Structure formats: C-alpha cells, structure tokens
Amino acid sequence: MKLAFSTLGVPGLPLAEVVALATAHGYHGVELRAHPEEPLNPEATPAERAEAAALFRAAGVEVLGVAGYARVAAPGDDTPVLEEIRALLRLAHDLGAPYVRVFPGADAARPRAEGDETAARRLGVAAEDAAALGVRILLETHDSHRTGADAIRVLGPVGHRNAGALWDVMHTWLGGEQPEQTYAALAPHLGYVQVKDIASAEDTTPLPLGAGVLPLAECVEVLSRHDWDGWLCWEYEKRWYEAAAPLPGLLGAGREHLDRLLNASA
C-alpha cells in the first residue's frame, strides 16, 4: 500500500511546502483539498494547474485525489451539482490525479430512498464524464451515508467503474460497522482509504495516528488479508479543529505507525 496525507491537515499551505513535507517524511502522495480558500481549486488557471502538476511530478509525489465538497444526494436541481463535479473532474485530470472525492449529503428529513436515488442518478451521469477524462469519482462514507452498507445502496445501482467509494474509517466506525463488513461492502468499488484517529465518538478532535480509539490495525489487517494494494491517506482535520496539534510535526511518526501496521499485517 502507498501512503498519502490530505491538505485538510495543513490548510492554506503553499503547494511547494506541501510537496516538501511529503518528500521529507516519506509519503508517496497527497490528497488536495479543493476548496476556494486553498491555493489550488477549480478556479485555478491553466497555467496554475500546469505549474502545480510539474511541481509534484518533479518531486516524485503523486496527487492522489482532489477532495471536493459536492453533495450528490442533496435535494434540489441536478445541474449545479453536476457542474460542480465536472469542475472537480477537470482539475483532477489536469493534475494527473486519478480520483475526485464527493460527499453524500442527503436530507435526513426526506425519505432515505429519495437520497439514494438522487445520488445514483447524478453519479451515473457524472461517471460518464469521469470516464472521458480518465478519473474516478469516489463517494466518501460520510454524513448521511457513513457506512459501507449505506454507500453500496447508491453505488450498486450506478454500476459504473468510474463511480466508486472512499472509505473514511472514522465514519464507518461511528456508524457501528466492523472493518470486515465495510470491506465486504465496498471491495468491488473501493478507490482508497482515509485513516485518522480520535479520542472517542463524543470527541472527534484529530489525534496522532495510534493515539486514539479507531480500529486502524484491524482495517489494515483486513485490507492486507484481501491483498488490497491501494492508498492509505491520513486525513487530519486540522482545518476544523484549530486547537489540534500542527500536522507537520506529526507526519514522520504517522508514517512510521502506518509502516508498523503494514508490517504486522504482512
């Protein structure tokens, strides 16, 4: 498995410094948060995109994915959601990134089937655009669809290779799903896995990997047992928790912890 970290942990950091952190601490790739407050987002010019792609390429660091905020199960017209996804797909293509992350975002006050159907319809359309650009859209286990069982209700009906799943280990754990259950549900669709750690279900402030309660060892063991060889991406939610320790000082120990888990599961 290859290791990456998300720029959610270093909000606003210039890309050159992001690349320097990855190379200094032995990470193979980076997930770029595609938000307007970040240095690179869907509003970036062709020149800015080319410069960023060249920067990562020269350092030998891969852009794993573009983490967008489109909510595919949210109520409303399809057009704005599809246009948001298409903008993310174009950015990913220009950076040479294989994945785009989207959220579910269904309205809890509406029938569950309605959100599932809306998400499946939009992903089915957007997957054709993704295929044309050589990118996969990944529905993250998050908010209204936090478990693998939730995500598969959408991805099963879509049935398109360019629409897959992103396994966020915190949300599946909060949803009461065991790692083996999540893997069984998502395996045919799994793009990559976001790892993290927290103190408890009540306190989700990000912690160094291995310092909290999330079943990281079990997740890695399940993936290894099934010969899965994709990416583990550390999503440290510093942007939402200003009091959390700065990520740069944790990256080295985090990589070492993941290396130990991988070695133990081999």
Q: What is the pLDDT of residue 166?
A: 99
The answer to whether 1 and 231 have CB atoms below 8 angstroms apart is: yes
C-alpha to C-alpha distance for 167 and 120, rounded to whole angstroms? 18
The answer to whether 81 and 74 have CB atoms below 8 angstroms apart is: yes
C-alpha to C-alpha distance for 3 and 233, rounded to whole angstroms? 6
Q: What is the pLDDT of residue 266?
A: 85
C-alpha to C-alpha distance for 108 and 100, rounded to whole angstroms? 24
The answer to whether 265 and 225 have CB atoms below 8 angstroms apart is: yes
Q: What is the pLDDT of residue 1?
A: 96
Q: What is the pLDDT of residue 144?
A: 98
DSSP string for residues in 102-128: EE----TTS-HHHHHHHHHHHHHHHHH
C-alpha to C-alpha distance for 88 and 98, rounded to whole angstroms? 11
Tens of pLDDT along the chain (266 residues) come to: 999 999 999 999 999 999 999 999 999 999 999 999 999 999 999 999 999 999 999 999 999 999 999 999 999 999 999 999 999 999 999 999 999 999 999 999 999 999 999 999 999 999 999 999 999 999 999 999 999 999 999 999 999 999 999 999 999 999 999 999 999 999 999 999 999 999 999 999 999 999 999 999 999 999 999 999 999 999 999 999 999 999 999 999 999 999 999 999 98
φ and ψ at 11, to 5 degrees?
A: -55, 130
Q: Which residues contact 218 (CB under 8 A, 6 or more apart)?
A: 178, 179, 180
Q: How far is CA 228 from CA 153, 183, 221, 232, in A?
A: 22, 10, 10, 11
C-alpha to C-alpha distance for 24 and 38, rounded to whole angstroms? 22
Q: Which residues contact 201 (CB under 8 A, 6 or more apart)?
A: 174
Which of 131, 36, 14 shows the shortest CA–CA distance to 84? 36
Q: How far is CA 155 from CA 64, 136, 187, 246, in A?
A: 21, 13, 11, 36
**Structure tokens that stand for 92 in this block:** 């990913």
